[in-house]
Amino acid sequence: MTKSITWHKVLGNKDMLQEGRVMTVTAGHTQICLTHFKGTYNALTNKCPHQGGPLGEGSIENGQLRCPWHGWDFNPCGGNSDGFEDGLKTYDLKIEDDAIFVGIEKEPPHEATITDVMVETMVNWGVNRVFGMVGHSNLGLADAFRRKEESGDLKFIGVRHEGAASFAASAYGKLTGKPAACFAIAGPGSTNMFTGLWDAKVDRSPILALTGQVATQVVGTGNFQEVDLVRAFQTVAAFNQRVEHQSKHAELMSLAIKHAILNRDVSHLTFPDQVQVLPSGNAKAQTPDGRMPDLSISPSQQSFDKALDLLKKAKRPAIIVGHGARFHMESIISLAGKLNCPVMTTFKGKGLIPDNHPLGCGVLGRSGTPIASYFMNEADLLLVIGASFSNHTGITPKKQIIQIDFDPLALSKFHPVAVPVYGEISRTVSLIHDQSHEFISNKTDQKGEISRRWDIWRKEKQKRLTEDRDKGVSSAFVFDALTRLAPANAVMCVDVGNNAYSFGRYFESKQHSFLMSGYLGSIGFAFPAAMGAWAAVGDERPIIAVAGDGGFCQYLAELTTAVKYDMPIKLIVLNNNELGKISKEQRAGGWDVWATSLVNPDFSAYANSCGALGLKVDKKQQLEDAMLQLFSHKGPALLEISADVDLI
């Protein structure tokens, strides 16, 4: 049978390869070792038959082509090995108009692999955003991603550090309630993802981790980058499996995603190198049809009746909402309107009710406002919805509390409450709405008091705006400007440190969404989170990240990722050359301030060097113009603000 040969131009001019030299060229998907010896050109396989060494990176010595990895010699013209049976495959070569062409057998159509089936299953379940790095032990899975991206079904965002990939995927889950995937090679690439995966786990954000692995046949031999990833992920992943030759591959992917969604947790699949390219045979991708339950669970009648009884008796109830209530705020705010009661949020729930809403009282706790703490203290009943009672929030257990949550483990997690109500939030709040005629008549209208308390707090903030020690811009001034100038519907991504506390305290939300590293409190979260937010909303909403100098430096290189994908992220860096929150804690604990000073680059110059817009402000008089320029820029941009470490 005659072979069908396809000719590929591999070198535009033969003189580019000097006599006595070799080089690697590519013909289609085949790498070729091209040699020039004794006036003739030859095309040989680029892989040494022993360890796969790239022969095109070798050299011709004493008339022999020498492998760069272990020094074995081959004939540079014919590829034989002095009579041994490990000679090199040769390819047809021709020269036309000084260009070199290599003839390769026509490639057969792509045969679907098990990773093709698994990626198609993943996309069918709605997981179509992947953050990660392509490397030597995940190339088969990466190629399946490539095919899905070329068909328009998936978006792959190649990052500079795998930790940024897992943070971005965690933030995507926090914003949407749906999982994205993070992706890494075996060994260090996978372990780099741990911090972001723990962030997702403790903040109950669904996430899918996909890792490459060394080939099965060398597992246990101490192979290069070998780490037992199933054992390594055992503590962080609720679903944690190795993909084997005989696995039910589509079912494995379906179960991984189902666990991530229903448990709001981490699912991990690891793919040994050789398994990734196995033919799929007759295997078919799965869909979620018929696989997901209806989650609209009503509370028990007993707990519901107890909650109604407390609501009837209360005259000054207050509602506290956490991150778990983020998809149910329309009905919650409507209920608050019937009760004429204040609504305050946890820090993770910041912005769930706008601060300019007549019932909005801002954030409660360490990052909060005196308005929220006042109304918690004045309330005779707290209705807590989707909040986990973190000690950073400071919800007092001394009050009568009705707690509503769709996670039974979150109910009464740290201490008893008067009525723990287990039920899906929207369903439960709707049932309370239906009975509201029974308990609204005796409620105190607190709207006027809320307005007065805001007036008091805003006057206090105006006083703080005047503070200036000529050592940088105060946080109050920064977030006052941000309140006035930030787009009203932006996704706001917050780091940790004094910048975060000041953000929670001073920034007044409108239709904003806020993303932060809540229970883990991981420094460096803000900018990777902004990449995750962009993957979720694209250009439909502005995205703003706020970080300190310590936090941004954790993932400094990801600014180039934003430039590569033209992510219109606006980053505000508060630069005080110090880990200011740690210095504050050292002083508060009676310790000497030590090892918290920082040496930073010129962040604005760095941004410009990356291809983004870089701006810098040293004086508060410059701030408004700089922010206006920042927000009007079409692409990624950074504003560096010299901040006073003590005016927070």
The string of pLDDT tens digits covering residues 176-188 is 999 999 999 999 9
Q: Which residue has the higher pLDDT, 571 or 296?
A: 571
pLDDT band at 72 (very low <50, low <70, confident <90, very high): confident
Report the distance separating Cα 476 and Cα 502, nearest Å. 7
Task: Report residue 40: phi and psi, to 5°.
Answer: -115, 150
Q: What is the mean pLDDT of residues 420-434?
A: 94
Convert the pLDDT of each residue in 530-585 to its tens digit.
999 999 999 999 999 999 999 999 999 999 999 999 999 999 999 999 999 999 99
Q: What is the mean pLDDT of residues 245-259?
A: 96
Per-residue pLDDT at 214: 78
Residues of the chain with CATH 2.102.10.10: 5-105
Per-residue pLDDT at 194: 96
Per-residue pLDDT at 81: 61
Per-residue pLDDT at 486: 97
3 state DSSP class of 302: helix
3 state DSSP class of 510: coil
Query: Is residue 79 over pLDDT 80?
Result: no
Encoded tokens for 305: 């009746």
Query: Is residue 454 over pLDDT 90?
Result: yes
Q: What is the mean pLDDT of residues 368-397?
A: 89
Q: Look at the chain and count its residues.
A: 648
Q: Within 10 A of 423 (CB to CB), how many other CB atoms are there?
A: 20
Residues of the chain with CATH 3.40.50.970: 114-277, 466-642
Query: Is residue 342 over pLDDT 70?
Result: yes
Report the range of poorest mean pLDDT among 211-225, 340-354, 396-410: 211-225
Q: The pTM is what?
A: 0.93
pLDDT band at 437 (very low <50, low <70, confident <90, very high): confident
Report the distance separating Cα 44 and Cα 40, nearest Å. 13
How many CA within 13 A on the CB side of residue 425?
26
Q: What is the mean pLDDT of residues 3-30?
A: 94
Q: Is 299 exposed, middle or buried (0-12, 13-18, 19+ CB in 10 A)?
A: buried
Report the range of poorest mean pLDDT among 76-90, 223-237, 249-263: 76-90
Per-residue pLDDT at 563: 98
Encoded tokens for 165: 């990939």
CA angle (32, 50, 228) in 5-degree steps? 105
Convert the pLDDT of each residue in 618-632 to its tens digit.
999 999 999 999 999
242 near 168, Cβ under 8 Å? Answer: no
Report the distance separating Cα 559 and Cα 355, nearest Å. 31
Per-residue pLDDT at 222: 65
Handedness of CA 547, 549, 551, 557 (dihedral sign): positive
Q: Is 18 exposed, middle or buried (0-12, 13-18, 19+ CB in 10 A)?
A: exposed
Per-residue pLDDT at 224: 66
Report the distance separating Cα 322 and Cα 340, nearest Å. 19
Per-residue pLDDT at 203: 95
Contacts of 178 (CB under 8 A, 6+ apart): 126, 127, 172, 206, 261
Per-residue pLDDT at 82: 60
Task: Report residue 363: phi and psi, to 5°.
Answer: -90, 140
Per-residue pLDDT at 622: 96
pLDDT band at 2 (very low <50, low <70, confident <90, very high): low
Convert the pLDDT of each residue in 202-232 to its tens digit.
999 999 999 998 766 556 666 765 678 899 9
CATH number for 466-642 (one of 3.40.50.970, 1.10.1740.110, 3.40.140.10, 3.40.50.720): it is 3.40.50.970
Convert the pLDDT of each residue in 29-71 to its tens digit.
999 999 999 999 999 999 998 888 999 999 999 999 999 998 8
568 near 636, Cβ under 8 Å? Answer: yes
271 near 138, Cβ under 8 Å? Answer: yes
Q: How far is CA 97 from the centre of its chain?
A: 51
3 state DSSP class of 145: helix
pLDDT band at 87 (very low <50, low <70, confident <90, very high): confident
Per-residue pLDDT at 70: 85
Q: What is the mean pLDDT of residues 354-362?
A: 96
CATH number for 114-277 (one of 2.40.70.10, 3.40.1190.20, 1.10.1740.10, 3.40.50.970): it is 3.40.50.970
DSSP 387: -
Q: Are strands 491-494 and 419-422 parallel, antiparallel or unpaired?
A: unpaired
Convert the pLDDT of each residue in 466-502 to its tens digit.
988 989 999 999 999 999 999 999 999 999 999 998 9
Q: What is the mean pLDDT of residues 314-324?
A: 95
Q: Is 290 left (phi over 0), alpha (psi -120 to 50) or beta?
A: left
547 near 527, Cβ under 8 Å? Answer: yes
Per-residue pLDDT at 219: 63
Convert the pLDDT of each residue in 129-162 to its tens digit.
999 999 989 999 999 999 999 999 999 999 999 9
Q: Does domain 5-105 have CATH number 3.40.50.150?
A: no
**Portion of the chain with pLDDT greater than 70, in percent:** 97
Residue 643, beta-bridge partner list? 473
Per-residue pLDDT at 78: 77
Residues of the chain with CATH 3.40.50.1220: 301-449
Per-residue pLDDT at 388: 84
Handedness of CA 322, 326, 331, 337 (dihedral sign): positive
Mean pLDDT of the chain: 93
Query: Is residue 83 over pLDDT 70?
Result: no
Q: Does domain 301-449 have CATH number 3.40.50.1220?
A: yes
Handedness of CA 333, 339, 340, 346 (dihedral sign): negative
Largest CA distance in the chain: 102
Helices (H), 575-642: 580-588, 603-610, 623-632
Per-residue pLDDT at 272: 94
